Amino acid sequence: MTTYLIRNAQLLGGAPQDLHLVDGVIAAIGTALDATADIEIDATGLIVLPGLVDLHTHLREPGREDAETVLTGTRAAAKGGFTAVHAMANTFPVADTAGVVEQVWRLGQESGYCDVQPVGAVTVGLEGKKLAELGAMHESAAGVRVFSDDGKCVDDAVMMRRALEYVKAFDGVVAQHAQEPRLTEGAQMNEGQVSGELGLGGWPAVAEEAIIARDVLLAAHVGSRLHICHVSTAGSVEIVRWAKAKGWDVTAEVTPHHLLLTDELVRSYDPVYKVNPPLRTAEDVQALRKALADGTIDAVATDHAPHPAEDKDCEWAVAAMGMVGLETALSVVQQTMVDTGLLNWEGVADRMSHRPARIGRLAGQGRPVSVGEPANLVLFDPAYRGAVNPDSFASRSRNTPYKGLDLPGRVHATFLRGNATVLAGELVEQGGLA
């Protein structure tokens, strides 16, 4: 296995250190290390972080390989600095059986770019009618611990209660896509001043907040673990803050796009801004940033949602919802959280690696950057400036809201258990299916 000597990298943004990577682990850390390696990297000015962990990725395989595959999605993840992603269950077929989650898990293993941890569906076919085989998915080779009907809300309270009770047996967690379906029928964007002016169907904040309020109470009642996907409103933050103050086992994530973009962008009628949950107001964005900074929101999760051009380059009303996000996440977090002084790089490591790994109970990911730990690392250049160019994406889809936008920072290198998946900003071809 290739050995690496990384010279003068700023450990979590701190003082420059050398790191020696041997046999998949961090063999040594120090200044002016007396060591040799096959490849030496001058990391002057680069920050070293633990490999990022995404709790919320749509890899689209099986079924929508025209949008993304496990291979293209994990290549995009590596380019974004990720060493593990959770693959959402809303594929075709739905990942609601041991067979499908094992298939996704194996494809991830074969890709070699990034660990893929399949998320299992809560209900059969995401239909909300019958609990899926949660135990069988957990016991499969994929070892599923996170369950979600994401894309749809588990809106039946009894179904949600049963799922929360069931996953307790194996320390699992239910990740809820909080969207009260009746309150969002025909909804096209955030309900507020802009939706009123544009005459588009409104998606009220209460549709999200009502489900979160119900579910934190349910989780407390049955003593189970609940995770809230893509929190998008100031009111949702207040409920999560209240639940945590009660000592309940509730965690939450926010997407990069909800940290940066607002519903004002919908005035363009460009479907690239159509997303679920919708872009909210500037006040919501400020509340989300503050909550991520103070830890009320535990993690940044991309909700990477690739769509082929034909599903996005159309009228607003019929366009698919979602944005790609793996390759821009860290840059958006730098811009919104680090450059604003809200979070330091240690905080970024916590919200994008340590905590998401803990929520997903991923062993070997989200570990400290210290000697003896698996060498899951990202080298990031925070001084880089450049316009986002979707044509350079490794993702099969191009539906980014940041096209042409100057975002700070760039992933210089990513290591998965000591194996470079990205070097000098470029993917390193892996053996597997590449």
| 303 in catalytic set | yes
CA torsion 125→72→53→32, rounded to 10°?
A: 170
| # residues contacting Zn ion (CB under 5 A) | 3
Q: Which is nearer to Zn ion, 229 or 234 (CB)?
A: 229
Q: Is residue 419 annotated as involved in ligand binding?
A: no
CA triple 146-229-179, angle to 5 deg: 115
At how many degrees (to 10) do helices 205-222 and 234-245 cross? 10
Whether the Cβ atoms of residue 198 and residue 267 lie closer than 8 Å to each other: yes
Residue in this structure with the two tokens 């993840």, named with its chain if needed: 77
Name the minimum Å distance from CB 81 to Zn ion.
22
User: Cis bond leading into 16, ω under 30°?
Assistant: no
Q: Which is nearer to Zn ion, 150 or 208 (CB)?
A: 150
Q: Scanning residues 123 to 152, which ones bind Zn ion (CB under 5 A)?
A: 150
Whether the Cβ atoms of residue 203 and residue 187 lie closer than 8 Å to each other: yes
Q: Which is nearer to Zn ion, 47 or 228 (CB)?
A: 228
Q: Does 257 bind Zn ion (CB under 5 A)?
A: no
- Cite the beta strand spans of 47-206 per DSSP E: 47-50, 52-57, 82-87, 115-118, 146-147, 173-176, 189-190, 202-203
Whether the Cβ atoms of residue 349 and residue 12 lie closer than 8 Å to each other: yes
Q: Is residue 150 annotated as involved in ligand binding?
A: yes
Give dist(CA 85, CA 108) in Å, integer. 10
Which of the following is catalytic: 303, 313, 381, 406?
303
Name the minimum Å distance from CB 2 to Zn ion.
38
Q: Is residue 307 annotated as involved in ligand binding?
A: yes
Name the minimum Å distance from CB 323 to Zn ion.
12
Q: Scanning residues 171 to 210, which ones bind Zn ion (CB under 5 A)?
A: 177
Which residues are CB-neighbours of 13 under 8 A, at least 6 positions away? 47, 344, 345, 346
Q: Scanning residues 96 to 125, which ones bind Zn ion (CB under 5 A)?
A: none
Q: Is residue 412 annotated as involved in ligand binding?
A: no
Q: Is residue 90 annotated as involved in ligand binding?
A: yes
List the x/- string, 224-243, binding to Zn ion by CB under 5 A.
-----x--------------
Q: Which is nearer to Zn ion, 229 or 348 (CB)?
A: 229
Question: Catalytic residue numbers?
Answer: 303
Binding residues for Zn(2+): 56, 58, 150, 177, 230, 303
Binding residues: 56, 58-60, 90, 150, 177, 230, 276, 303, 307
Binding residues for substrate: 58-60, 90, 276, 307
Query: Residue numbers of the site for Zn ion (CB under 5 A)?
Result: 150, 177, 229
